[in-house]
Structure 1
Amino acid sequence: MWFLALWRRLLVLLQGPEPVAAPISSAPPPPPPGRLTERREISTPIVVPARGYVFTFRIRAMFVWSSNGIPREMLSGSAQYFMPYAVRALTNLAAARARNFAAHRARDLEVELQRELAATGPWRYERGGAEVACKPYVWVELDEGVKQAVRPYWEQLIKLDCEYDVDVKRAQNADRLSRQWLSILGKLVDNPAAGGAAKMTDENFAAVVQELIAQQQAATQRLNDLIEDGLRSDDEYERKTSFDLLAERLKSHGRAASAEPREPSRNGASPRPGD
């Protein structure tokens, strides 16, 4: 008997202490994920016939899948499962719209598809109680045969556009230089010493200044002739208008005369005001 008791005690020592049970955690489970998105692109473009069924359009597309409240693994699995359905729906939509556009109107078809997709909103699919949304984005490319046919046309447009830019730059530079010259010439023409300044400049510039002075003098003479004709007219309105113009002309000459320096008197004294 003592031998059995010793044997049991030896087994207890060899087994070690019993493991202590871990306390049960009372922490709540992690909250479900919020809104998740995943992008998927098709490897090969969608090909649909253009108007006339001779050439085609090539449509590249990207699908943005989104979900709310489901794990990412479930979103990825749903996107993988519903991807063929989304591609088929986009193909049917593009084929129905493309037959209304000529083969070189890829941009117009792209705008039409984008407008249609924006109006309908995201496509929704449900699987196993989980709902996912899909929003397609499209880009339309020309058929290779159409690209070769329209290349000369676009090369010519690019050339004309570049030439137009060059002409605009030239016109802007010419306008800026013209304004500078007009400012300089205007100051010279208004200056009583314009004739002398013209003689001191080169021949071309002098010719321009002298021509402007001559034009100004001719315009003044024409105005004087018109005023004189109006004064001799029997029409009372014309006479009154001519008198007004004559009065304004006298005022202008009076201001110009007052600005000019007076000649010294014969005895060398400066002139008095009112002389």
Structure 2
Amino acid sequence: MPAKGDAFDFRLHVVYLWTASNMGFEELRLRAERLLPWAGGIVRERAVDLAREHEPHRAHDLERALNNLLMHQRWPQDASLPQFGVHLRVSPDERVRERLRPYWEERIELECHHELQKIRAWQADDLTRRWAAVLQSLEDDPVTGHAARLAGEQFAEVFQRYVVERRDTVPDLVSLLREAVKGHGDLGLGPSEYTQAWDAALRTYERQHGLSGRTN
């Protein structure tokens, strides 16, 4: 069955469903065999024009279009004779299949690589969140130094650096908050809600990190 452009062919695989009234199975089988060449001609006649509207690599689209066209039709019209309906499968030309193979090989490789990267990203994110929770929990515990050593010297060393770096940033942030509150006072803005909010943030942060006794 020629495809669009007549350079390649589609291969049709036709399944015939024969039915009859008041007829035994053996008689139906024999009559269907005699009518099969005629039935094949009916299918080809209906399919040829539609096949030429489809590009050689669109076998699946042609299959769907043909079945939509023929699925509710039966031949012959005389109900006293054996009648048949059809269901079709369409395959592309073998030469087209060979040309499509590199495309699908590359696409499969790309999709697998993409899925692998997604899994790696999810695992990295999950691991980061878990370690962050562990470090935060240890930092809040008064026996963190000893507990960290129980997990191994390497972990203890990393944890100690983490704690030191966190503590070193606290005074800088507190100074920044103090300057913000002081700056609004210098501008003569008075006890505005904005200034009060900065001051509340400063006091809360100082309490959390044991710095409430520091002087301005």
TM-score range, shorter chain: 0.7 to 0.9
Residue aligning to 1:211: 165
Q: For 2:158 and 2:65, how far apart are their aligned partners in 1?
A: 61
Q: CA RMSD in A?
A: 3.5
Residue aligning to 1:132: 83
Q: For 1:69 and 1:232, how far apart are their aligned partners in 2?
A: 107
Which secondary structure does the structure 1 equivalent of 2:4 belong to? coil
Equivalent residue letter for 2:134: I
Give yes or no for the alignment of 1:102 onto 2:55: yes
TM-superposed deviation, 1:54: 0.9
Unaligned runs of 5+ in 1: 1-47, 258-275
Q: Would the alpha carbon gap of residues 247 and 173 (structure 1) be closer, same or farther in structure 2, given more than 3 Å must change?
A: closer
Q: Would the alpha carbon gap of residues 219 and 249 (structure 1) be closer, same or farther in structure 2, given more than 3 Å must change?
A: closer
Determine which of 181, 184, 198 is the counterpart of 2:131: 181
* Number of residue-to-residue matches in the alignment: 205
Q: Taking every aligned residue pair, what percent have the same amino acid on both sides? A: 25
Give yes or no for the alignment of 1:91 onto 2:41: no
TM norm structure 1? 0.59
Unaligned runs of 5+ in 2: 150-154, 211-216
Which secondary structure does the structure 2 equivalent of 1:125 belong to? coil
Q: For 1:146 and 1:122, how far apart are their aligned partners in 2?
A: 31
More helix by share: 2
Equivalent residues of 1:110, 1:140 under 8 A apart: yes
Equivalent residue letter for 1:178: T
* Bigger RCO (CA 8 Å, 6+ sep): 2
Equivalent residues of 1:78, 1:127 under 8 A apart: no
More strand by share: 1
Determine which of 225, 229, 232 is the counterpart of 2:179: 225
TM-superposed deviation, 1:171: 1.8
TM norm structure 2? 0.72
Determine which of 32, 37, 40 is the counterpart of 1:79: 32
Equivalent residues of 1:82, 1:125 under 8 A apart: no
Matches within 5 A, 1:1-275: 48-67=1-20, 70-118=23-71, 121-126=72-77, 129-130=80-81, 132-134=83-85, 136-189=86-139, 191=140, 193=142, 196=145, 200=149, 201-215=155-169, 218-235=172-189, 239-247=192-200, 250=203
Equivalent residue letter for 2:98: Q
